Structure 1
Amino acid sequence: MMRLFDRTLGKWIRHFLFILVRTYYALFYNISSSGKHLLQNQSGALILATHVSRHDGPMIAAVLYPTMRIRPTVHYDEYYNWAQFLAMFVISAIPMSSPKSWPDEKRKARKAKVMGIIHKVMSKENAVLLFPAGKVRRQKEELVPAYLSGVHEILSAEPNTPVLLLRLDGLGQFQAATYDRFWSFIGIKKGRRHVTIDLRSLTDLDPSVGVEAFNARLEELLNTPVSNDI
């Protein structure tokens, strides 16, 4: 039943939400994106993104929607929040983690189930959007501690998975805010905030190394300015 809903009514609702969200960001943000073409010939991919604000997920999904269906990962608490559960369900978000109050065995079973869903999604030629830092940035740089082992485990299980690095600039509180004059005709000097989305392929993430070294390399990639790639 859920699969039928996803392919019929869910598809129409997602497109309607895309129009609403894309219109909102077109009105209040001046978004430039590069590298979207890298998704066109992919048969499933893992997108690793910086997490600079709460707009990241909706903005990325809206910008990439016409190119490939994006299945975002969200924290368990956010997915089951009553105020946003319907939207999460319609866009087929994947809830990550589990309540710490659960027994260890139950949490391990939950993690194994989520990993299975992620691999299944990518095998069906969809993209999974994952924020390696796990939460919105509270400092100038992305931090990926060793206990956040999801990316390492995904690539260890399937090392040939296509991986793309997505970096947002101009959106977070620690990033420069530049505005155009879109709303100047009604006397507002600050118009839309400029945001850059940069997407590029990653071929140098080695899951055979330990989690700590792997995450250190991931931090380095996430924190490299778009104009100064490693």
Structure 2
Amino acid sequence: MIRFLDATLGRWLRHFLFVLVRSYYALFYNVSCAGKHLLQDRPGTLILATHVSRHDGPLIAAILYATKRIRPTVHYDEYYNWSQFIPMFIASAIPMSSPKSWPDERRKARKAVVLEIVHKVLAKGNSVLLFPAGKVRREERERVPAYLSGVHDILRAEPNTPVMLLRIDGLGAHQPATYDSFWTFLGIKKGRRHVTMDLRPLTDLDASIDVEAFNARLEDLLNTPISHAL
């Protein structure tokens, strides 16, 4: 019954939500996304994205919606926040981590359940969006501390999982802001903010090494400017 509702009512609700979100970003942001066509031929892909603002999740989901179904991951507390739960549920977001107040054994059990869900989603051919840094960037560089082992655990369990790296530029507080003249006819000097997204396959991420070295390598990849990667 749950699968039936997801494929019918859930599908319509997701499309309605997509139209609303995509319309908002079309009005206030000028977004370009290089490489998103590559996602069509890569079923079950783990997408690792930079986290430069609170717009990242809905923006990425809206831009990639018509390319491949994306299951975003969000922090447990954000997923069950009363103000966000409904859109998170409609978008089929996957709650990650667990409250720090839980006992260690319960947190370990929760982590095992989440990893199982992620692998099932990937095995069905859907893509999973994950922010390795875990939180919005508050400084110039993306930081991936060793205790954030989610990506390492996922790829260590299934090394052949397709991986793509997604960088966002022009949206974060520490990134240059460039605007067009879209709204000047209303007397507003700033128009839509220009945002660049770059999505490309990642083939040199080795999960057989220890998590600290793995995260250091991932951190370097996330902090490579889009202009240098082209």
User: What TM-score do the two structures reach when normalised by structure 2?
Assistant: 0.99
Matched ranges for 1:51-90 at <5 A: 51-90=51-90
2:93 corresponds to: 93
1:33 corresponds to: 33
* Structure 2 residue identity aligned to 1:32: S
Is residue 118 of structure 1 aligned with residue 118 of structure 2?
yes
* Structure 2 residue identity aligned to 1:108: K
Post-superposition shift, 1:42?
A: 1.2
* Matched position secondary structure for 1:152: helix
Post-superposition shift, 1:80?
A: 0.2
RMSD, aligned α-carbons: 0.9
Post-superposition shift, 1:188?
A: 1.0
How many aligned residue pairs are there?
230
* Structure 2 residue identity aligned to 1:148: L
Matched ranges for 1:69-218 at <5 A: 69-218=69-218
Question: 2: CA distance between counterparts of 1:201 and 1:129?
Answer: 14
* Structure 2 residue identity aligned to 1:149: S
Post-superposition shift, 1:185?
A: 1.0
* Matched position secondary structure for 1:179: coil
* Structure 1 residue identity aligned to 2:144: V
Poorly superposed stretches of 4+, deviation over 4 Å: none
* Matched position secondary structure for 2:228: coil
Q: Give unmatched runs, 5+ long, in structure 1.
A: none
Question: 2: CA distance between counterparts of 1:115 and 1:86?
Answer: 23
2:226 corresponds to: 226
Post-superposition shift, 1:4?
A: 2.0
Question: 2: CA distance between counterparts of 1:101 and 1:53?
Answer: 27
1:5 corresponds to: 5
* Matched position secondary structure for 1:17: helix
> Which digits, 9 at most, give the CA deviation of each residue in 1:38-92, with x for residues without a partner?
1111121000000000000000000000000000000000000011101111100
Question: 1: CA distance between counterparts of 2:91 and 2:5?
Answer: 12
* Matched position secondary structure for 1:227: helix
Question: 1: CA distance between counterparts of 2:6 and 2:45?
Answer: 20
Q: Percent identity?
A: 75
Question: 1: CA distance between counterparts of 2:147 and 2:65?
Answer: 31
Question: 1: CA distance between counterparts of 2:85 and 2:34?
Answer: 31
User: What TM-score do the two structures reach when normalised by structure 1?
Assistant: 0.99
* Structure 2 residue identity aligned to 1:12: W
